[in-house]
Amino acid sequence: MERVYNFSAGPSMLPLSVLEKAASELTAYGGSGMSVMEMSHRSKVYGEIFARVKQSLREVMNVPETHEILFMQGGATAQFAAVPLNLLGEGGTADYALTGVFSTNAYNEAKKYCSPRAVFSGEAEGFRRIPDQSELQLSPSASYFHHCSNNTIYGTAWNYIPETGSVPLVADMSSEILSRPVDISKYGLIYAGVQKNMAPAGMAVVIVDKALLGRELPITPTIMSYAKFMKADSMLNTPPTYTIYMLGLVLDWVKENGGLSGMDSLRRERSSMIYDLLDSSGFYKAVAEKNSRSMMNVTFRTGSEELDAKFVKEAAAEGLVNLKGHRLAGGMRASIYNAMPVEGVIKLVEFMKKFERENG
Ligand SMILES: *Cc1c(COP(=O)(O)O)cnc(C)c1O
C-alpha cells in the first residue's frame, strides 16, 4: 500500500529508510537469532545497542560531558513532575512561562510541590505569541525557569534562548528536539517526549547538567529520580528497549542527512514554503504572530470552520492526512518534523493553492 504524507503532531512520521531497516532486522538482529524486542535489557548484545544509541545522541546533539543523557518512561508528561521533584530543593520554587497547553500543564503539575510563579501567560491572547526577554521578570532565587521551546498545539516557538542569569534554564523541547543545533551548555535541563521527532512513543530523553543533581525532594519516586537513573545508566528497571533501538536508527539517518544543521536547513525550507503562501494569501490566515512562528508546527485557518473541515477532508483524499488542528486551537495544523519529505510540503502547498482557487 502506498504511504501518505502524515502531518500528525505525534506520534508522527518516521523516515521510510528507518522503517525499512527496522523491518529488515525485525525477526533477527545481527547474529543474535532474535528480535531486539525479545532481548534481555541486561544481555551483552542489547547493552551494545544501548551504549551505541546513547553515544550517538551525545555526538549528534553535541552534548558536553557536564551533562548526562537519561532515557525515562512516562513521556514528557512525567517530566512535568520529575523536573520540580528533582530540581526544586527543599522549600524551593520555580518560574514558568505559560505559552501553550503543555507549559501550562507543566506549571499545574509543579503546583503540587511548590508555589510556582507564572512569569508570563499568553492565554488571554490565544497563545499566539512568545514573550520578549524584556517581558520576563524572573526571580533570581528561583530553582529554575521552565519554558516550552516549541509549542506544538498553537504553532509558536521561542526564537531566542531566554537569559536567566544564574537560574538554571529548563526546556521542554518535545516537538523540536533534533531539528536544529542547540547549545546544550546554556541549559540546566532539556527534556523531550520522543514520539514527535525522535522515535516511536514510549519514553522521554532527558539531558541534565550533572551539577543540578543531588537535591531531589525525599518524596521523589525512584522511577523519577534523575540521580538514581544516572547511577543505573537508565537501567534502573526495564527500559523501553525497542524504542531506544529505533532512536538509534533515527540518529543514523540524521547523521546521513547532514546532522542537526542539515535538519535545520530542511525545516527552514519546509516551513518557509507554507508561511510564504500564508503571507501572500488573502484566503488563509497564519495563527501565530510572525516573530513567534514555529518551523515544526504550522497553524493556519481559512476563517470559516466549515471551510476548515472541508480542507481537512479533501486534503486527506489526496494523501495529505492529519491536518486538522488540535481541538483546543481549531483550524489546521501541519506538523512538519524531520521525517516529512520536502515533497510532502510541496504537495501540501499545491493543494492549498488549488483549495483557495476553488473556495476563495
Ligand atoms: C506532545 C508534547 C508533550 C506531551 O508528551 P507525552 O510524551 O505525551 O507526555 C509535552 N510537551 C510538548 C511540547 C509536546 O509536544
DSSP letters of 76-110? HHHHHHHHHHHHS-TT---EEEE-SHHHHHHHHHH
pLDDT number for residue 70: 98
**Ligand 1 center from residue 76 Cα (angstroms):** 5
Testing ligand 1's pocket by substitution, the residue of 72, 174, 190 carrying the most ligand atoms inside 8 A of its CB is: 174
> Looking at residue 228, what is its pLDDT?
98
- Look at residue 230 and tell me whether its pLDDT is greater than 80: yes
Asked if pLDDT for residue 1 goes beyond 80, the answer is no
Ligand 1, atom 5: nearest CA belongs to which residue?
76
Has residue 283 got a pLDDT over 80?
Answer: yes
Q: 149 C-alpha to center of ligand 1: Å?
A: 12
pTM of the entire predicted model? 0.98
**How far is ligand 1, taken at its centre, from the CA of residue 228, in Å?**
23
Report the percentage of the chain scoring pLDDT > 70: 100
How far CA 250 is from CA of 176, 212, 246, in Å, comes to: 14, 29, 6
The set of residues, in sequence order, having a beta carbon less than 8 Å from that of 116 and lying 6+ positions away, is 84, 93, 94, 95, 96, 107, 110
Mean pLDDT of the chain: 97
> How far is it, in rounded angstroms, from Cα 173 to Cα 148?
6
Residues lining ligand 1, CB < 6 A?
10, 75-77, 102, 148, 152, 172, 174-175, 193, 196
Q: How remote is the CA of residue 294 from the centroid of ligand 1, in Å? A: 16
pLDDT surpassing 90 at residue 317: yes
Q: Which residues pair with 67 in a beta bridge?
A: 209
CA of 77 to the centre of ligand 1 (A): 6
Q: Closest ligand 1 atom, CA of 194? A: 7
Residue 329: exposure state from Cβ atoms within 10 A (0-12, 13-18, ≥19): buried
- Closest ligand 1 atom number to CA of residue 150: 13
Ligand 1: centre distance to CA 153 (Å): 10
pLDDT digits (tens, 9 = 90+) for 71-114: 999 999 999 999 999 999 999 999 999 999 999 999 999 999 99
Residue with CA at minimum distance from ligand 1 atom 3: 76
pLDDT at residue 208 greater than cutoff 90: yes
Average pLDDT over residues 330-350: 98
Closest approach atom of ligand 1 to CA 204: 7
**Helix H or strand E encompassing 118:** strand 117-121
N residues, the chain: 360
pLDDT tens digits, one per residue of 248-268: 999 999 999 999 999 999 999
